Amino acid sequence: WRLAEKAAVTLVDRLICDLALDVDRHSVGETYLAHRPRHAGGFEKEAEATQENYGVAPEILTQSQLSSAGLAGPFYGAMTTPIGFGLNPRKYVAGLYKGAFAAGTRFFDRSPVVQINEKGVTTSQGHVKADKVILATNGYSSEDIPDWMAGRYMPAQSTAIVTEPLSDTALEAAGWTSDQMAYDSRRLLHYFRLMPDRRFLFGMRGGVFSSVSTEAVARTKVVSDFREMFPAWAKVGISHAWSGMVCLARGRVPFVGPVPNMPNVLAGFAYHGNGVAMGTFSGQLLADMALERRPALYPAAMHHPARRFPLGRMRRALVPPVYAAYHLSDLRR
Ligand SMILES: Cc1cc2nc3c(=O)[nH]c(=O)nc-3n(C[C@H](O)[C@H](O)[C@H](O)COP(=O)(O)OP(=O)(O)OC[C@H]3O[C@@H](n4cnc5c(N)ncnc54)[C@H](O)[C@@H]3O)c2cc1C
């Protein structure tokens, strides 16, 4: 599984190079920031485990070194793991689309699939005959497309905001000048990064349903956490905000493989908010399976069909108490 995590990043890197994609790439690995002293205290051990499991040496910064690294904020230390990089996902997906289109792929948008069966798919516009169907609806899956999906995925909302471009003076005022993509040690973690156009992106997990009102609540919370973490930017304008659904699995590992009892259907989902790289890796695995090629790397952890969550259609009710418990634990010293 760990090999797959690294291979997923390598694959994205390779696709960007092979297809000559302009994706606003930045950051050397990712930086984990301790929001409590005890988290910084655990960095040495974590770095050892990372070295052992991933074969790379993380760099640790103490609290007093953060400002000179351009990582100032309410943090007690940082650990940078040199795997991964930041990109603009919209540019990435647009580049993949162009590459697939040039290779002969046909796309049909505005035609939602309403049924999958052994002959192919039925959409709102008609039928498509297919020897193989790949189900890749992740956090936007439906309980009955196909019925096997019922209860196996947990959609969870994530919300991100983006500021107006920040001047050098504004960056200096906050002490954040680093190009590193970063996240903090909260269980309900914040993710953030200064993008190449000098806008700052800041996001976090939120509700479980998508609607105008829940998205407004989530945005208010994200803006408030952003302003609290970076008070020097209290008056900086927010130019963009959006929410979407990520997908969780009970076993916390994505599933990629054939749907049981549906020999023509393959599925890949549950990337836990890390689908840019893992979704790409899973897409390659699914393509290999559809073409009956032997995948170079198919970790055993991804073979097991996602187990069902308790409570069936009511399962999203499980999330708010878990988030409340996470929030309380994030407040503990
Ligand atoms: C705010 C936010 C921030 C994120 N940040 C990161 C990040 O920093 N790093 C990272 O790696 N990941 C991040 N993610 C997660 C990442 O976006 C997802 O993991 C990734 O998009 C999953 O890709 P996917 O193609 O599997 O599914 P999706 O991108 O969710 O696409 C699923 C598609 O299925 C379509 N669909 C659903 N039902 C049907 C149907 N019946 N018929 C036809 N089509 C259907 C939907 O319209 C949708 O287009 C973030 C997500 C959000 C919302």
**What would the pLDDT profile of 181-205 be if each residue is shown by its tens digit?**
999 998 788 999 999 999 999 999 8
Q: Ligand 1 pocket test: which of 90, 122, 140 has the largest number of ligand atoms within 8 Å of its C-beta?
A: 140
With cut-offs at 50, 70 and 90, classify the pLDDT of residue 1. confident
User: How much of the chain is helix, strand and coil, in % rounded to 5?
Assistant: 40, 25, 40
Q: Whose CA is nearest to atom 47 of ligand 1?
A: 140
Report which of residues 187 and 165 the model is more confident about.
165
Over residues 252-292, the pLDDT tens digits come to 899 999 999 998 999 999 999 899 999 999 999 999 999 99
**Which atom of ligand 1 lies at the shortest distance from residue 247's CA?**
19
pLDDT exceeds 90 at position 313 = no
Over residues 130-144, the pLDDT tens digits come to 999 999 999 999 999
Return the closest-CA partner of residue 230 out of 259, 252, 201, 251: 201
| Structural domains for the chain | 108-153+250-331 (3.50.50.60)
Residue 325, pLDDT score: 73
Whether 122 lines ligand 1, by a CB cut-off of 6 Å, is no
Over residues 85-143, the pLDDT tens digits come to 999 999 999 999 999 999 999 999 999 999 998 889 999 889 999 999 999 999 999 99
Whether 271 lines ligand 1, by a CB cut-off of 6 Å, is yes
Whether 183 lines ligand 1, by a CB cut-off of 6 Å, is no
Q: Ligand 1 pocket test: which of 30, 123, 137 has the largest number of ligand atoms within 8 Å of its C-beta?
A: 137
- DSSP secondary structure string for all residues of 240-283: EEEEEEEEE-TTSS-EEEEPTT-TTEEEEE--TT-HHHHHHHHH
pLDDT exceeds 70 at position 333 = no
173: tokens are 């005022």
In 19-112, alpha helices (H): 37-41, 43-54, 89-102
Which pTM was predicted?
0.94
Fill in the amino acid letter for 16: I
Whether 273 lines ligand 1, by a CB cut-off of 6 Å, is yes
**Distances from the Cα of 278 to the Cα of 39, 284, 314, angstroms:** 26, 10, 28
Report which of residues 291 and 305 the model is more confident about.
291
Whether 120 lines ligand 1, by a CB cut-off of 6 Å, is no
